[in-house]
Amino acid sequence: MLESGKIDSRQAIWLMITLVIATAGVYAPAVAVNAARQDAWLSVIFATLVALFIAWMIVILILRFPGKTIFQIPELVLGKVPGKIIAFLFVLWLIHIEILVFSEFGNFMISSVLPGTPMVVNHVVAAVMIAYIARNGLEVISRFNGLFLPFFLFSITFLALLAFKDMDPARLLPVFDDGLAAIMKGSAAQIAWLGEVIALAVIIPYLNKPGRALRVAFLATLVSGFIMTLNVVYPLATFGPDLTASFSYPIYNAVRIISIANFLERLEAIPVVIWITGGIIKVCLLRYAAVLGAAQCLELEDYRPLVLPVGAVVVAGSLHMYQDVAATVAFVSDVWPFYALTFEAGLPLLLLVVVMVRGLGSKNKGTDL
């Protein structure tokens, strides 16, 4: 086994929460509100229900093959050649997500925080840090995340309390104003974000109690869905649907207007720190999953030599593929949902159907809630 470390259920839940919400808070509110207006919060709730099914499907598939990851199972189910092809497609997809995350944060930094700093500088600094953490394996990533997530949860609670005076529930009305079709359209990108719980397909074999994987998946999805709902309700109740949809970063703009007694204000540094730190952890986990998958596909003895080459590809791709906010938002809202769900739901469902039909793997799933 390429990874000898183990993590517990709590660490896995925290990792999955960070993986989803680290980037969902940046563009998700604007994407959802553009599609569903004041019903955007309903889009997130619907997306959470769909994501619970995706989480269940992934756990059931992985537990049929104890000790195997999503990169090894396709070969066992479909045969050597088609299985290797699908496994490599998963690796490439993970690398593409890394590129997208780098672009999202790079565009945010140069447009809102460090406009005078070349994007390549931000990318190289982040890439060095990510490579160091990812090389040290899953346990180190989990411990780093364990330091970050409590700060994140405290911060969003603190900001929500401060912002409450600026929020008006009437801005969330009328409900179902644009109909069910708009809600479904707004949920597409949210499902894709929440569907990133597929990362469990990489870490379940390294849980110290794999039988608790279903509990991990459901709790992580529900908590992530709740936080994403708050991310949408907060700017909506503050600005209303028209103004929220006009912002590239609604939460950032909502935090900027917080002012308590003309003393406690200019708090936008808090979401910036949260997004940057969460984004680094997310990319660390994606990098770890991608290089582990590549090593398993190539039957290498160690994944660590692949960390830096993949990092170079990610930095180069992020500097050329999504060069401005408009291009990134267009891809996230129009292309990403269908593209991501192919890997998060389509291929796992195909594998699970073949497994069930052919009776492959262990029928004793050993799950518990």
pLDDT tier for residue 75 given thresholds of 50, 70 and 90: very high
Which residue, 102, 90, 137, is CA-closest to 285? 137
Three-state DSSP at 264 gives strand
pLDDT tier for residue 26 given thresholds of 50, 70 and 90: confident
Stretch (H or E) spanning 12:
helix 9-36
- Comparing 61-65, 89-93, 102-106, the range with the smallest average pLDDT is 102-106
Which whole number is the average pLDDT over 13-17? 94
Q: Is 226 exposed, middle or buried (0-12, 13-18, 19+ CB in 10 A)?
A: middle
For residue 73, the Cα-to-chain-centroid distance in whole angstroms is: 23
Which whole number is the average pLDDT over 100-122? 80
Distance separating alpha carbons of residues 319 and 315, to the nearest angstrom: 6
Average predicted confidence (pLDDT) for the chain = 88
Which residue, 362, 359, 363, 351, is CA-closest to 75? 351
pLDDT tier for residue 363 given thresholds of 50, 70 and 90: low
State both tokens at 66: 């104890």
Supply the pLDDT for residue 3. 66
- Comparing 9-13, 327-331, 341-345, 362-366, the range with the smallest average pLDDT is 362-366
Q: Is the pLDDT of residue 1 over 70?
A: no
pLDDT tier for residue 177 given thresholds of 50, 70 and 90: confident
pLDDT tier for residue 62 given thresholds of 50, 70 and 90: very high
Tell me which of 355 and 329 has the higher pLDDT: 355
Tell me which of 324 and 278 has the higher pLDDT: 278
Q: Is the pLDDT of residue 111 over 90?
A: no
Q: Is the pLDDT of residue 357 over 90?
A: yes
State both tokens at 176: 């179902």
Q: Is the pLDDT of residue 17 over 80?
A: yes
Q: Is the pLDDT of residue 92 over 90?
A: yes
Distance separating alpha carbons of residues 225 and 219, to the nearest angstrom: 10
Supply the pLDDT for residue 268. 82
Percent of the chain exceeding pLDDT 90 equals: 50
Supply the pLDDT for residue 174. 87
End-to-end CA distance of the chain: 27
Distance separating alpha carbons of residues 54 and 191, to the nearest angstrom: 9
pTM of the full predicted structure?
0.91
